[in-house]
Amino acid sequence: MARGKRAFQRSKKKAVKHHRKRNAPAKAKPWPMPAEPAPVPTPLTHIDQRGEARMVDVSEKGATERIAIAEGRVLMRKETLDIVLEGNAMKGDVLGAARLAGIMAAKRTHGLIPLCHPLPLTKVEIDINPEHSLPGFLVQSTVKVTAKTGVEMEALTAVSIACLTIYDMVKAVERGIRIEGIRLLHKSGGKSGEWNAGG
């Protein structure tokens, strides 16, 4: 009788174990990790395939002579233009200060525009001519270098700062002076060759 009782208990334990196993909650499957997005090609040389800013590696490029020309306009009243041309501005030589500022700005472009390369510029020329039809001044910069990358940003920076300097020198006379039309006119050299603005 004791043997039968032990057999019954073993059978009962086995049945309980089987019941628990059948009714146990299913083990949770691990949540799948999202797939890393595939790199997207971009035509912007300062943006890598992950969309992050970078300085372009120019080590494999050949050094060639490169020239860039940019322009901008400073528009003002006729009376203000006359004051500048007569040399009667309160701060002194307006156009001389603007030329020097443009040259200095071209040399320091890499410190202002984060991803520009420092370049050994061989020429920076700033031309400022009165335009009575505006009225105001036409400002033009020419920048030259023999290097592995171009000087478009140096030319544009030079024009921008020269125009701003004209404003600063005569703002006491007219605060409504406008700076307009800053653009690249010409570039040459490098793999892409020559380019000229239309119009």
Catalytic residues: 168
184's torsion region: left (phi>0), alpha (psi -120 to 50) or beta?
beta
Q: Are 122 and 133 in contact (CB under 8 A)?
A: no
Asked if residue 89 lies in contact with residue 142, where contact means CB atoms within 8 angstroms, the answer is: no
DSSP for 21-35 reads HHHSPPPPPPPPPPP
Q: Are 29 and 21 in contact (CB under 8 A)?
A: no
Whole-angstrom distance, CA of residue 62 vs CA of residue 59: 8
